[in-house]
Amino acid sequence: RDAAPAPAPIIAPTMAATDQASVAAAHRAAVVLIARKKYSAALGGLRAIAAKHPDIASVQYQIGALLARIGRVDEAVKAFDAVAAMRPDDPEPPIALASTLLRARREEDAGKYADRAVELADAGTDARLKADAHEIAARVALARDDADAATAQALLAQKADPLLPLPQFVRGRLLYD
């Protein structure tokens, strides 16, 4: 699954009401620009929010996702790393990092983040995050031509989300390759 922009910024409860309204309006404008594929302008808007409010992790995440979408991988990694620093127990930033790096064919780097995502997700109770973490780990294993690891991760993803047909996908990929 690709790293997708989070739906809305998380507003700090201590933020003044005028700042909240300003951030929400700027965020809405950036979302509209993304929908219109005006990525540079959207990136500028998101970066302006982040400059004023660097503690809003979801905006940093959206910056990373947008940078990944337009192929600016190293910048995306920096943005996702910033989110991971803000939310060290959250498996979503390492999942996004692994996905971004895997698409850039940087399997070894992706593997480190996939391992971290699995570790964090397995420590929690969110089945969706467990499935996502094991899915990215399976995709990394496939990219590394590690059939056993891919199969094991696919089964763990399906255990977390029984509707996820990842074992079948992995079997098909292994047969195809």
Can you state the angle between helices 57-69 and 92-103, rounded to 10 degrees?
10
pLDDT at 12: 60
Q: How many CB atoms lie under 10 A from the CB of residue 38?
A: 14
Phi, psi values for residue 11, rounded to 5°: -85, 130
Mean pLDDT of 138-163: 97
CA-to-CA distance for 107 and 113, rounded, in angstroms?
A: 10
User: In 3-state terms, what secondary structure has residue 168?
Assistant: helix
pTM of the model: 0.86
**Whole-number mean pLDDT of the chain?**
92
For a pLDDT cut of 70, what percent of the chain falls above it?
Answer: 92
Tell me the per-residue pLDDT of 42-81, one tens digit each, with 9 for 90 and over.
999 999 999 999 989 999 999 999 999 999 999 999 999 9
Task: Please measure the distance between the N-terminal and C-terminal CA atoms of the chain and give it in whole angstroms.
Answer: 21
> Given this model, what pLDDT does residue 11 score?
58
What number of residues does the chain have? 177
What does the longest C-alpha to C-alpha distance in the chain come to? 57
Amino acid at site 85: A
Residue 2 reports pLDDT greater than 80: no
Q: Are 48 and 96 in contact (CB under 8 A)?
A: no
Under DSSP, the state recorded for 125 is -
